[in-house]
Amino acid sequence: MKRLRVFSMILIMTSLACYTTTAPPLSGTPENQPTVDQSIAPEAIVSTVTIQTASVNSSASTLLYISGTTHIESKPQTWPDVDAYLAFLQQVTALGMKWSVGADIGWLEGEPRAAELIQASEALGVQWDVHTHSPQDRAKAAYLITQMGGHPNSVVSGMLVSEFDAIGPQTYQGFTWTPQVLWGGTNCPGHRPGCDDLAAGVWIPLSAEQYTTHNPSGQYIRVGGGTHQLEDG
């Protein structure tokens, strides 16, 4: 009997490019309306990769699993064009790629077509993460996604490492959201040099102070993105 050997490794979860596409025109005077540049498309970001080599036989195939993630900030000038973004999601999911989107409060409350994008993307298999710059808004963001017909997952999409000890279930308007997975950690606000947590791998942090120490009895799973470069995986 031939002995099978399986090698697997988790490579990287790249940081989400805060891609800058422009929003649909808002109400108000023309000089205050952001313009829509239809030529700008979301930037494709590799999220996680798993490689499996299954056999000592050199003719055996290698499976490459790739998923991607993006997020939408609260500033209207960074919002994607809904039609262009949906077309992008249709393309990547048609290729068999899993994708997730995190949406901040400003977009959820201000984009007229937010519900349309959430429902249409979920029909493609896209998942919606909870991404907020204010930790106290996470349950609210998850609540708004559900009100628009979506199903938010349990991913904290972006956080300060110093927030770790305070992470837990939150309730908004009677809706309780419980985090399970942490992604996109930074050591200081913004993405200045030296701020991003570049640790790679999957572990359960012990505490904010000992964030890279694995705690087998801990609760929250950290997915580290490494250097965010595929070639470094």
pLDDT tens digits, 178-225:
999 999 888 888 778 888 888 888 999 999 999 999 999 999 999 987
pLDDT attached to residue 185 = 84
CB contact set of 102 (below 8 Å; sequence gap of 6+): 16, 69, 70, 71, 72, 128, 129, 130, 131, 155, 157, 158
Determine the longest span between alpha carbons in the chain, in angstroms: 75
Cα distance between residue 102 and residue 153, in whole Å: 10
Kindly tell me if the per-residue pLDDT of 11 is higher than 60: no
From residue 212, give the alpha-carbon distance in Å to each of 13, 101, 173, 183: 16, 26, 35, 13
Q: What is the layout of strands, in order, in the sheet containing 62-72? A: 6-10, 46-54, 62-72, 98-103, 127-130, 152-160, 181-186, 221-225, 200-203
Cα distance between residue 24 and residue 40, in whole Å: 13
Tokens coding 107: 């977009």
pLDDT attached to residue 52 = 43
